[in-house]
Amino acid sequence: MKARKIVGICIGVAAVLGVLTWAFWSPAPKNAEQQLVVASWGGAYQTAQRKAFFEPFEKEFKVHIVEAGTPDYGKIYEWQRSGAASIDVVDVETFFVFQAGKKGALTRLDRDLLPTASLMKSAVDDFGVASCAYAEVIAWNKKRNPGLSDLKWSDFWDTERIPGPRAFRDLPATTLEAALLADGVSPDHLYPLDVDRAFKKLDALRAKTKIVLWTAGSEPIEFLKDRTAVLSTAWNGRIRDAQNEGMPLEMSFNQATLDWLWWVIPKEAKNKELAMKFIAFTLRPDRQRALVENIPYGPTNEDAWTGLPEDKLRQVPNSPANMKRVIIRDNKWWAEHETELVDRWRQWKLGLGK
Amino acid sequence: MTNQNFGSADPVAAPALRDVVFRVATAAVPLLLLGVGLGLPLLTGLLDMAQLSHGGARLLSAVLAAVLGRTLLFAAISGGIATIVAWTFALITTGWPRSYRTLLLVLCVLPVATHFILRTYGLQQIFGAGGPMNSALIMTGLIVEPLPLTKSAFGTVMALTSWLLPVSVFFMYMVVRSVPRELIDAAVLLGAGRAAILRNVWLPQTTPGAMLLLTINFCLGYGTYLSPRLLGGLEDVTVVVLIGQLLNEGRSAQAAMVGTIATAIPLVIAAIVFLARRIHARSRKLLIQRSSEQCGSC
């Protein structure tokens, strides 16, 4: 009787252990080195990257791509100090490439592996290479504001014509340019930015209406949907994605700020060689076209333009037609003034120093 | 009896000296740790700030002062509201049947079972400009334009209070339950009315518990991140949000300095309260001593 009890307990314990092992066991990759960790911005953009870059790269190079969370600039600096990075390739904004490159937090790229001859000159730096172009546009809900079209920044400031709250990204970049353009500064004479004038213009808007801020790319869509804001800045790809989902949103490329999204390799990344191969792969014309097919973010490889359909060209911010209407952000200027202006932006948000 | 010589040291003074040394040593160790723990990041941050221009350093200091003020205010308001509501609720339900009280407790614990982020997003949806709350108010004709219930200071306080409330009610319920029933029975037997029982029994018995809850709520509210991030307005930046932003900008030394100052402020407040109470107690003791001396002489 006692022996049967012991056998029963042993079987029970073995069964529990078996279930737990099955539940938590994940097969180790055959070659542990053939794994690349990439961090990007999520949402529609990362879905497009998955289809255009990640999955084809996995097939062609027989490696496994692990998609980490959204890029955290603080962590990249932290890895520099600790000497160990958990992500191999990070998708970042332009100012960060210049700033972190200068601070020694990024790996110098091997230009021999990149198709530099066909890449746009402004899309290549020692520490990063741009994979696509996007724009921060003015967006609105056309169901609530049916009469609006082709808005520019002076319309954004016109609270009498279009009453209601406005939404900006919680950053001074683009917001200051927008304020100056709304105040009548010519796009050709925008840089160096007249910061005092820009903040004065922002004060004027704040006095007339409520201003809300967004940090995640999905927030402007929510704001426009639930009336938190009547007009909002937004990334053109996010608005296009919302339109594809049937949301009544509209956007304008008129005076939109054009910027690039860059691949960088943290200084302490484990798989630098594979990371370089991945970056070079995403810059191939066929992969660049594939990205545009999935999200209207423009290619940085000039060879990718051939074969793009007309309707896609209209949606892409750096297409020849749209390039005449957008403002190109001077990121070298921003990299130099970022810290000081971010503090000034905080001061403005808190309503200090008026 | 032989007169033993213990040397020049006074046999009475020796233990007192040992006591003083022991006291100083026990106080010095935590103070040293605290000093190093707070002093090092503060020093690193100050050295880092010295690299900023004079205007830049002044700007960051002004921002920090304003953010600290706002954080203290949010923590005090939300902590205060949660404590008062929980206290009132716990006192009201003392007269309720046991089954009702149990149901209330279950209802209190239920929201805690869902994650705070989910609850905050829920609040965002309900109280947002296009949410059911504003829609209902517009439908009834009370308002024309949606009220700024989210993306405002009100939104931050609401989210923070709703986060603190379930546990606060639970806490105060336990405090109220710990009051001896004999005291209430005695008060009733002595002919005290409801108001008199509340004033003379319930309030004095539960006030220490409520003060403890207020302190806990203040500390929790002081470290808040999500409420101002998701429901706060343009000006609603708290210390933790500021630290997160600085870290994201690669300014970790300044983030550490802000964190140190933020940690030191409640400690300084607590030290001032402690000293004030000691001075008050000592002056009271002196006063009583003097009056008794005067009485003795008259």
3-class secondary structure, A170: coil
With bands split at pLDDT 50, 70 and 90, how would you rate the model's confidence at A22?
A: low
pLDDT at residue A37, as a whole number: 95
Chain A positions with Cβ closer than 8 Å to B: 72-74, 76-78, 81, 99-100, 103, 105, 165, 206, 210-213, 215, 225-228, 338-340, 342-344, 346-347, 349-353
Contact at 8 Å (CB) between A163 and A209?
A: yes
Nearest residue of chain B to residue A346 (CA atoms): B63
pLDDT at residue B70, as a whole number: 92
State how far the Cα of A31 lies from the Cα of B157, in Å rounded to an integer.
Answer: 52
Judge: A73–B249 Cβ closer than 8 Å, yes or no: yes
| Residues in CB range of B26: below 8 A, 6 or more apart | none
Q: Is the peptide bond before A192 cis (omega within 30 degrees of 0)?
A: yes
State how far the Cα of B84 lies from the Cα of B169, in Å rounded to an integer.
Answer: 10
Higher pLDDT: B223 or A9? It is B223
| Residues in CB range of A127: below 8 A, 6 or more apart | A97, A100, A101, A106, A107, A108, A109, A264
Contact at 8 Å (CB) between A33 and A269?
A: no
Please state which of the four CATH numbers 2.60.120.10, 3.40.190.10, 3.30.1860.10, 3.30.460.20 is assigned to the domain occupying A136-258+329-348.
3.40.190.10
pLDDT at residue B50, as a whole number: 72
pLDDT at residue A102, as a whole number: 87
Percent of chain A with pLDDT over 90: 62
| B36, amino acid identity | V
Percent of chain B with pLDDT over 90: 30
pLDDT digits 0-9 by tens, A25-65: 555 445 545 899 999 998 889 999 999 999 999 999 999 99
With bands split at pLDDT 50, 70 and 90, how would you rate the model's confidence at A120?
A: confident
C-alpha closest to that of A263 among A148, A142, A91, A12: A91
With bands split at pLDDT 50, 70 and 90, how would you rate the model's confidence at B1?
A: very low
* The two three-digit tokens of residue A165, written as one number: 């709250």
State how far the Cα of A319 lies from the Cα of A297, in Å rounded to an integer.
Answer: 10
Judge: A350–B56 Cβ closer than 8 Å, yes or no: no
Judge: B129–A228 Cβ closer than 8 Å, yes or no: yes
C-alpha closest to that of B227 among B235, B214, B236: B236
pLDDT digits 0-9 by tens, A139-155: 999 998 898 999 999 99
Task: Give me the total of CB pairs closer than 8 Å, taking one residue from chain A and one from chain B.
Answer: 84
Contact at 8 Å (CB) between A195 and A348?
A: no
Residues in chain B: 298
pLDDT at residue A66, as a whole number: 94
DSSP B91-158: HHGGGS-HHHHHHHHHHHHHHHHS-HHHHHHHHHHHHSTTSHHHHHHHHTTS-SSPP--SSSHHHHHH
State how far the Cα of B180 lies from the Cα of B175, in Å rounded to an integer.
Answer: 11
State how far the Cα of B215 lies from the Cα of B80, in Å rounded to an integer.
Answer: 9
Judge: A103–B250 Cβ closer than 8 Å, yes or no: yes
In terms of Cβ atoms closer than 10 Å to its own Cβ (0-12, 13-18, 19+), residue B140 is exposed
pLDDT at residue B10, as a whole number: 54
Q: Is the pLDDT of residue B132 over 60?
A: yes
Q: Is the pLDDT of residue A240 over 50?
A: yes
Judge: A215–B250 Cβ closer than 8 Å, yes or no: no
Q: Is the pLDDT of residue B277 over 70?
A: yes
State how far the Cα of A243 lies from the Cα of B123, in Å rounded to an integer.
Answer: 26
* The two three-digit tokens of residue A90, written as one number: 């990070």
User: Worst-scoring range by mean pLDDT, A68-82, A236-250, B22-36, B246-260?
Assistant: B22-36
> Residue with structure tokens 């003074």?
B13
pLDDT at residue A78, as a whole number: 87
With bands split at pLDDT 50, 70 and 90, how would you rate the model's confidence at B209?
A: very high
State how far the Cα of A339 lies from the Cα of A77, in Å rounded to an integer.
Answer: 15
pLDDT, average across residues B207-232:
91
Query: Which residues in chain A are classed under CATH 3.40.190.10?
Result: 23-133+260-327, 136-258+329-348
pLDDT, average across residues B246-264:
86
Q: Is the pLDDT of residue B210 over 60?
A: yes
| A55, amino acid identity | E
* The two three-digit tokens of residue B132, written as one number: 């059911």
Percent of chain A with pLDDT over 70: 95
Q: Is the pLDDT of residue B178 over 70?
A: yes
State how far the Cα of B121 lies from the Cα of A222, in Å rounded to an integer.
Answer: 12
3-class secondary structure, B32: helix
- Cα B81–B87–B88 angle (5° rounding)? 90
Judged by a CB distance cut-off of 8 A, whether residue B249 touches chain A is yes
Q: Is the pLDDT of residue B156 over 70?
A: yes
In a mutational test of the A interface, the residue from B151, B239, B251 whose CB has the highest number of chain A CBs within 10 Å is B151
Strand partners, A119: A301
Contact at 8 Å (CB) between B249 and B242?
A: no
Q: What is the crossing angle of helices A272-282 and A285-294, to 10°?
A: 70
Nearest residue of chain A to residue B235 (CA atoms): A350
With bands split at pLDDT 50, 70 and 90, how would you rate the model's confidence at B81?
A: very high
The dihedral built from the CA positions of residue B221, B222, B227 and B233, taken in this order, carries a sign that is positive
C-alpha closest to that of A225 among A253, A254, A246, A255: A246
Q: What is the mean pLDDT of chain A?
A: 89
Instruction: Spell out which residues of chain B touch residue A340, defining contact as CB-CB under 8 Å.
Output: 52-53, 55-56, 59
Q: If residue A141 lies in a helix (H) or strand (E), which one and from where to where?
A: strand A129-141
With bands split at pLDDT 50, 70 and 90, how would you rate the model's confidence at A223?
A: very high
State how far the Cα of A128 lies from the Cα of A105, in Å rounded to an integer.
Answer: 12
State how far the Cα of A311 lies from the Cα of B203, in Å rounded to an integer.
Answer: 73
Q: Is the pLDDT of residue B246 over 70?
A: yes
Contact at 8 Å (CB) between A265 and A106?
A: yes
pLDDT at residue A352, as a whole number: 79
State how far the Cα of B37 lies from the Cα of B119, in Å rounded to an integer.
Answer: 35
User: Worst-scoring range by mean pLDDT, A124-128, B203-207, B269-273?
Assistant: B269-273
The C-alpha R_g of chain A, in whole angstroms, comes to 24
φ, ψ dihedrals at A212, nearest 5°: -115, 160
DSSP A231-284: EEEEEHHHHHHHHHTT--EEEEEEEEEEEEEEEE-BTT-S-HHHHHHHHHHHTS
| Residues in CB range of A2: below 8 A, 6 or more apart | none
List the single residue in B60, B66, B233 with the smallest CB-CB distance to A343. B60
Nearest residue of chain A to residue B250 (CA atoms): A74
Q: If residue A328 lies in a helix (H) or strand (E), which one and from where to where?
A: strand A327-328
For A23-133+260-327, CATH gives 3.40.190.10
What is the CA A113 to chain-centroid distance, rounded? 24
What percent helix, strand, coil does chain B show, rounded to 5? 80, 0, 20
With bands split at pLDDT 50, 70 and 90, how would you rate the model's confidence at B146?
A: confident
* The two three-digit tokens of residue A304, written as one number: 């990718």
Q: If residue B265 lies in a helix (H) or strand (E), which one and from where to where?
A: helix B252-297
pLDDT at residue B43, as a whole number: 80
